[in-house]
């Protein structure tokens, strides 16, 4: 079962807003067995709307449209669809009363634009919008379904969840779709492809594999299409256990769970606390951890030790070692981790010190050189990484590497 | 001059990632006088790529494609385009050497996938990608230009900025477009629209104004289209000085310069140093500051004081005050700022303490309550903000508000 999404609005085409609606809708549709084959963003122009919709209806049985339903002159979706499906715009009394009440609550008199908001095409099914005043319309023609929804994200999401997803499940007999995403760290895309060549070659035909790289993390996504959920789940289980035999140590989680949440669960399960001592990552690790609700139960705090003075004064790094080995060294990063664990009074501490770039590199320690240490009750481990030339990427990848070192230690 | 964007990748169509590339590209293209008429997201399937590209080439003279250029089997863009334009894939020696060197640096032997990365269509112009190993290809046919770029955002952005935007300006005779973006903080969109009603109403016809809100920052963008750059610049100057008379105190910068860079410049100009003491912002402020090269010259470090223990032990906050007033209080946040300034030995320090949510709110201090303090050589200021219900938004907006308080103090 294939669908397409069309988003209408100039604001997307001039880059003023990012279209986050489509990704959300695609994910929800996937969840009920509907594949999105194409997403198209077009302007508020009648000719564009008509031609894009006609083309989409030739390809698939379901088209979801968002946007262009506001009360102002530039919003023409309702009129255009009404003309296209040869319907007349008539007043919807329920909608009229709702618009009237909203305006009354705000002490605003009704004008022409408001009255037009209550007009709907006489042949369409009107779906209740509990989240605003724009009408949501369900059109059917020649066995095809076209749904028009407002573009405001919370209105669209509300309507989809309240009624549309349920109606679609009833209207179409949809197959089962199953996705499983494996989160990995420490192996690049091409090396991974080589390591998995045999496994990938032997995947059953119903499994589609995708490599999804992002800085520091490579996600492997298996997608399965079928009729029987239990059968698909069994195939996933089998393939997953075969995969684990090859890259077990590099798998840190599943289904888009970020690294810091994997670490958080391990810490919580063991009842242990964490602190950070960051030089080159500059607070990014603390920020990742504290982005999640509940982090205060395992994260006590951190020190962003950007200057050597702070490394010495707060983290008790030896001044002579700083002089002798430099801030980016095994000696210093290990002392930072030990010092953080002590001064923050935590079970574990992670420390980073490196040359993030673009300046500050030397022959011996070029841009991208990063030392990371993890200190625990019975352990002190440290590792040198040779990363990239890009500052943003170095900060991101070093943060993930640091969390991954802690994960490995906690899972030992 | 009209263009279209095509993004290739199943990950967008199943909603696993949001397509942020298109908005960025649309904005940059607008900046050089190229309008984007349509954005299409399609899957990694040959038939889809061919039909979408052919349709787009019928409508416009320029098509930009991102994605599907990785080294793995699911990425087929290069092969598909090569076939479509009737070209052969041949080895690019420069690209081969680059792939080889990258692998050598990491001690990884070259495999089949890497070798295939260095293949390029023999009739395309190959544009240097300084940010990765995927080739960027510029095709021309019947007066139409098709550009294929990697989908990884920082690679695509790097290539666009390094070469493509410049090449497009040369290839197509585009009109002069001038954009001026005014960065403001502290006034919401609808209040701003009311304050600027007269000024906006009197803008010359050639000036288009857009309100671009994001959490904590409202950007006002003036866009001018014309033939004469000097004339457009004169109009911008006049309108800007009129605007400054209305909202001077809320303007912190221009042309997408982020708040932390405005603050960085002020600190550098005065030769002053900064430290941070973060509770609810959890390292975000330090991360924003250290995202920029050269920050070590004014930023000495910070303390992420998530637990009360760290507030007491490292920042010397009075334990009785913590007990009496609570961590989210004027007394505590002021002591955090004073303590940070002392322990980090800096001229200025900013401190935050609040209820980021979703839990932890009380009747008196609901989710979104944030206290922020700034301490300087001769000043101590603090302010309570009542922000939002959303954790991510609270962290972001509190960080910007804290930096803005410091900016105001530095500009006093």
The domain that contains B226 carries what CATH number?
A: 3.30.70.2860
Identify the DSSP state of B264: H
pLDDT per residue over B171-219, tens digit each? 998 777 888 999 999 887 778 888 998 999 999 988 988 777 777 888 8
pLDDT per residue over A224-278, tens digit each? 888 888 999 999 999 999 999 999 989 999 988 999 999 999 999 999 999 999 9
User: How far is Cα A370 from Cα A281, in angstroms, rounded to an integer?
Assistant: 10
User: How far is Cα B277 from Cα B406, in angstroms, rounded to an integer?
Assistant: 13
Whether B33 and B92 map to the same domain: the answer is yes
User: How far is Cα B302 from Cα A305, in angstroms, rounded to an integer?
Assistant: 7
Mean pLDDT score across all residues of chain B: 92
Contact of A25 with chain B, judged by CB distance below 8 Å, is answered with yes
Mean pLDDT score across all residues of chain A: 92
Q: Give the range of the structural domain holding residue A32, as residue numbers without chain letter.
A: 2-171
Whether A230 and A97 map to the same domain: the answer is no
Whether A230 and A304 map to the same domain: the answer is no
Q: Which of A10, A61, A12 is nearest to A37 (CA)?
A: A61
Given a contact cutoff of 8 angstroms between Cβ atoms, the answer to whether A147 and A60 are in contact is: no
User: How far is Cα A395 from Cα B286, in angstroms, rounded to an integer?
Assistant: 12
pLDDT per residue over A3-35, tens digit each? 999 999 888 898 878 899 999 999 889 878 899
> What is the CATH number for B389?
3.90.950.20
The band of A85, judged by pLDDT with boundaries at 50, 70 and 90, is very high
Beta partners for residue B225, in sequence order: B177
Strand ranges (E), A328-403: 348-354, 369-375, 380-386
pLDDT recorded at residue A71: 66
| Alpha helix segments (H runs only) across A160-217 | 165-171, 189-195, 197-201
User: How far is Cα B372 from Cα B320, in angstroms, rounded to an integer?
Assistant: 20
Whether B212 and B268 map to the same domain: the answer is no
Q: Based on C-alpha coordinates, what's the Rg of chain B?
A: 26
Strands B2-8 and B35-42 come out as parallel
Residue B301: pLDDT above 70?
A: yes
Contact of A111 with chain B, judged by CB distance below 8 Å, is answered with no
Given a contact cutoff of 8 angstroms between Cβ atoms, the answer to whether A370 and A387 are in contact is: yes
Residue with tokens 């449209």: A65
Q: Which two tokens stand for residue B335?
A: 């002591």
Interface probe for A, chosen from B150, B209, B281, B306 (most Cβ of A below 10 Å), is B306
Given a contact cutoff of 8 angstroms between Cβ atoms, the answer to whether B411 and B391 are in contact is: no
Whether A32 and A87 map to the same domain: the answer is yes
Residue with tokens 């996933």: A236
pLDDT per residue over B98-135, tens digit each? 888 888 877 888 888 888 888 999 999 999 888 888 88
Identify the DSSP state of A163: I
User: How far is Cα B197 from Cα B299, in angstroms, rounded to an integer?
Assistant: 40
Residue of A26, A256, A300 lying closest to B309 (CB–CB) = A300
User: How far is Cα B295 from Cα B291, in angstroms, rounded to an integer?
Assistant: 8
Whether A25 and A155 map to the same domain: the answer is yes
Residue B357: pLDDT above 80?
A: yes
Residue B321: pLDDT above 70?
A: yes
Whether B265 and B378 map to the same domain: the answer is yes
Residue A73: pLDDT above 90?
A: no
Q: C-alpha B350: how far from its chain's center? A: 23
Strand ranges (E), A176-294: 176-184, 207-214, 217-226, 251-254, 274-278
Residue of A23, A301, A310 lying closest to B305 (CB–CB) = A301
Given a contact cutoff of 8 angstroms between Cβ atoms, the answer to whether A199 and A211 are in contact is: no
Whether B211 and B275 map to the same domain: the answer is no
Can you tell me the mean pLDDT for B266-281? 98
User: How far is Cα A58 from Cα A52, in angstroms, rounded to an integer?
Assistant: 10
Whether B160 and B187 map to the same domain: the answer is no
Length, in residues, of chain B: 412
The band of A74, judged by pLDDT with boundaries at 50, 70 and 90, is low
Residue with tokens 């009394």: A93
Which distant-in-sequence residues (6+ apart) come within 8 Å of B5 by Cβ? Answer: B22, B25, B26, B36, B38, B39, B40, B63, B64, B65, B66
Q: How many CB atoms lie within 10 A of CB A354?
A: 26
Are B22 and A19 an interchain contact pair (Cβ–Cβ within 8 Å)? Answer: yes
* Angle at A380 (CA atoms; ends A374, A385), nearest 5 degrees: 50
First CA to last CA distance, chain A: 45
Whether A196 and A101 map to the same domain: the answer is no
Q: In chain B, what residues touch A14 (CB-CB under 8 Å)? A: 26-27, 30, 35-36, 210
User: How far is Cα A360 from Cα A61, in angstroms, rounded to an integer?
Assistant: 58
> What is the CATH number for A26?
3.40.980.10
C-alpha distance from B249 to closest chain A C-alpha (Å):
25
pLDDT recorded at residue B177: 80
Contact of B236 with chain A, judged by CB distance below 8 Å, is answered with no
User: How far is Cα B184 from Cα B249, in angstroms, rounded to an integer?
Assistant: 9
Given a contact cutoff of 8 angstroms between Cβ atoms, the answer to whether A274 and B274 are in contact is: no
Whether A25 and A143 map to the same domain: the answer is yes
The band of A173, judged by pLDDT with boundaries at 50, 70 and 90, is confident
Which distant-in-sequence residues (6+ apart) come within 8 Å of B159 by Cβ? Answer: B127, B128, B129, B130, B131, B136, B149, B150
- Indicate if ipTM > 0.95: no
Residue A106: pLDDT above 80?
A: no
Are A41 and B39 an interchain contact pair (Cβ–Cβ within 8 Å)? Answer: yes
Q: In chain B, what residues touch A345 (CB-CB under 8 Å)? A: 309, 313
The band of B402, judged by pLDDT with boundaries at 50, 70 and 90, is very high
Residue after which a domain boundary falls, among B203, B237, B254: B254
Whether B48 and B6 map to the same domain: the answer is yes
Identify the DSSP state of B205: T
Number of domains within chain B:
3
Residue after which a domain boundary falls, among B171, B196, B216: B171
Residue of B13, B278, B391 lying closest to A293 (CB–CB) = B391
> Is the Cα torsion angle B73, B77, B80, B85 positive or negative in sign?
negative
């Amino acid at each position: 079962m294939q669908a397409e999404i069309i988003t209408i609005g100039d604001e997307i085409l001039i880059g003023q807003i990012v279209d986050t609606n489509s990704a959300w809708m695609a994910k929800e549709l996937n969840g009920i067995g509907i594949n999105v084959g194409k997403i198209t963003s077009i302007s508020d122009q009648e000719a564009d709307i008509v031609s894009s919709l006609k083309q989409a209806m030739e390809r698939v049985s379901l088209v979801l449209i968002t946007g262009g339903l506001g009360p102002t002159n530039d919003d023409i979706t309702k009129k255009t669809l009404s003309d296209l499906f040869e319907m007349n715009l008539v007043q919807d009394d329920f909608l009229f009363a709702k618009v009237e009440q909203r305006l009354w609550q705000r002490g605003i008199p009704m004008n022409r634009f408001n009255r037009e908001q209550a007009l709907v095409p006489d042949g369409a099914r009107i779906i209740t919008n509990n989240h605003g005043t724009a009408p949501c319309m369900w059109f059917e023609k020649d066995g095809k379904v076209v749904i028009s929804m407002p573009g405001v994200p919370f209105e669209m999401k509300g309507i989809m969840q309240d009624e549309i997803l349920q109606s679609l499940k009833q209207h179409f007999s949809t197959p089962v779709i199953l996705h499983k995403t494996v989160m990995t760290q420490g192996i690049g895309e091409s090396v991974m492809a080589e390591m998995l060549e045999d496994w990938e070659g032997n995947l059953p035909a119903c499994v589609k594999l995708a490599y999804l790289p992002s800085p520091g993390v490579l996600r492997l996504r298996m997608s399965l299409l079928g009729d029987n959920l239990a059968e698909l789940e069994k195939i996933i289980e089998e393939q997953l256990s075969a995969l684990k035999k090859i890259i077990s140590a590099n798998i840190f989680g599943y289904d888009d769970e970020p690294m810091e949440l994997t670490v958080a669960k391990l810490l919580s399960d063991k009842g242990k606390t964490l602190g950070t001592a960051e030089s080159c990552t500059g607070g990014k690790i603390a920020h990742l951890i504290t982005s999640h609700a509940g982090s205060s139960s395992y994260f006590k705090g951190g020190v962003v030790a950007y200057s050597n003075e702070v490394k010495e004064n707060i983290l008790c790094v030896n001044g002579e070692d700083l002089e002798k080995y430099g801030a980016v060294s095994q000696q210093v990063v290990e002392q930072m981790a030990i010092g953080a664990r002590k001064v923050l009074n935590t079970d574990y501490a992670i420390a980073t010190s490196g040359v993030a770039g673009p300046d500050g590199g030397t022959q011996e320690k070029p841009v991208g050189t990063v030392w990371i240490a993890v200190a625990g009750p019975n352990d002190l481990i440290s590792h040198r990484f040779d990363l990239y030339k890009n500052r943003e990427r170095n900060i991101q990848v070093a943060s993930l590497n640091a969390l991954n070192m802690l994960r490995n230690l906690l899972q030992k």
